[in-house]
Amino acid sequence: MDARLNWSPLRPFGARIELDCMAPIGDRHIELLRSLYDAHHLLLFPNQKLSSEQQVRVSSWFGPIALDKGATHYSTTDPALAEMGAAEITFHSDLSCATEPLLGISLHAIDVAEEASPTLFIDAMAAAADLPDSLRNRLEGLHVMNLWPLKLAERQRRESSPEDWPGAVHPLLKQHPRTGAAILYLNASHTDRIIELSADESENLIQELFGHLYSGAHCYVHRWMNGDLIVWDNLALQHRRPESPRGVPRTLQRVEIGSNSYAQQMPPEVLEAYGVA
């Protein structure tokens, strides 16, 4: 590895990169960063001060940026965002409820009360690799139905959803499109059921897998500092946010990595339910 790329591992996964992302970056360094991204799934670049355009440029090193998307902001001080800015969001992978989930996400801390409002990450690829052989064999050929979420802090279930509420079916052991590694592809927000099993069998297996996923063995807790930029693999990782304490600032600049954004994939009934129709 090029000694000029200064990095160190995070625990239990991720890599901290000491790099000025505003400076010109050569193709060789971008290749090395992509290799670290594939190996560690989450890259932390501290002490950045990036404009929206600069964050889009950095994010594009790791995948395509949807043509209709620039950077957006999530802030506890923006009343227009309501609960999206400050409320608890349980573990999920963005757009796992759609046919084309986001490939990655980047968040840049613009104004935070340092270390006061964390984001938690789960490595669902490592969780898949750690499955006991007997359990892993049970998952082969099974698929999950992931529903669009209406309640950010709760699991979306078919029985509590509007009639014909949309979602998407994915393999329970989903193959990463670039690395080929298996991902345990169910989550605490979107997953309704395993479609090949009876209701009871499905729920029992889901709860067993949730116990494995969310045991803490594969969890990285990031406590934001101003200037932090995190880029993560949205397929390999899940993330959640506890409710932000009242009065605590938390403004993060966000870029989606993927060919199709939320706006391009959101069904009309979801747009209407979210109040953006």
Contact 105, 254 (CB under 8 A): yes
> What is the reported pLDDT for 2?
44
The one-character DSSP state at 242 is: P
Q: By three-state DSSP, how is residue 134 classified?
A: helix
Mean pLDDT (the chain) is 92
| Domain chopping of the chain, boundaries | 8-277
Tens-digit pLDDT profile for residues 234-268: 999 999 999 888 888 899 999 999 998 888 899 99
> What is the reported pLDDT for 275?
67
Q: Is the dihedral of CA 11, 95, 115, 214 positive or negative?
A: negative
Whole-model pTM?
Answer: 0.93
Tens-digit pLDDT profile for residues 178-222: 999 999 999 999 999 999 999 999 999 999 999 999 999 999 999
Peptide bond into 24 cis (omega under 30): no
Q: In the chain, which ranges are continuous DSSP H helix?
A: 27-40, 52-59, 83-86, 124-129, 133-139, 199-213, 262-265, 268-273
- Return d(Cα 61, Cα 59) in angstroms, integer: 5
> What is the reported pLDDT for 84?
55
Residues 8-277: name the CATH superfamily: Clavaminate synthase-like (3.60.130.10)
Other beta carbons within 10 angstroms of residue 114's beta carbon come to 12
Phi then psi dihedrals of residue 258, to 5 deg: 160, 155
